[in-house]
Structure 1
């Protein structure tokens, strides 16, 4: 998440943003999908039984939903999401490699100007 309007210096506004984003997660994701706070302002989403294209579409809806958030108690705050997505493949070997692929895609999204979804490029041996 990227937040503008001084949220980083104000804990109560940061907590409000986390609650609002969590609410968007509940609204956009299916009941079988899993999501949780990964650390700081990062979340991890594990869509259940879906194709890469379906996951990409759902994450794009989430990104769009978050950008429309407005909070009466913090009217200057604007929230955007940079999302890195990786589909698990046997080539990865373990979940650590999977998470690293998603993290690289996240940083690629940030380098592209933020507020977008980037799918990880998967190397095939």
Structure 2
């Protein structure tokens, strides 16, 4: 019994979100800036930007129903994965991270806002 409990706790620890330091509730508020172009949650559909369900940890350019920019497709071909570092760099200055991106948003200025948005997006994985 103790062995099963220990294995269960180990599995929960390993499966815990990588982005636990962010505050998803605060991230939801910051995400309001993104809602004009992106959707998340049940029934989310592509808009000007792709729906972002499952984005955290996903390979870039993986939504088959969205037409990505050539710049993003080039990064995807290089193996870009939307991990915390990549999402942080992209949300800080999208145009600097991916040359020729369709995303016209200038970026988020506060590190905490970015961390919180990532935590919020991770709730849709």
Q: TM-score range by the shorter chain?
A: under 0.3
TM-score normalised to structure 2 length = 0.27
Q: Which has the higher contact order (CA 8 A, sep 6+)?
A: 2
TM-score normalised to structure 1 length = 0.27
Q: Based on CA coordinates, which of the two structures has the bigger radius of gyration?
A: 2
Structure with the bigger percentage of strand: 1
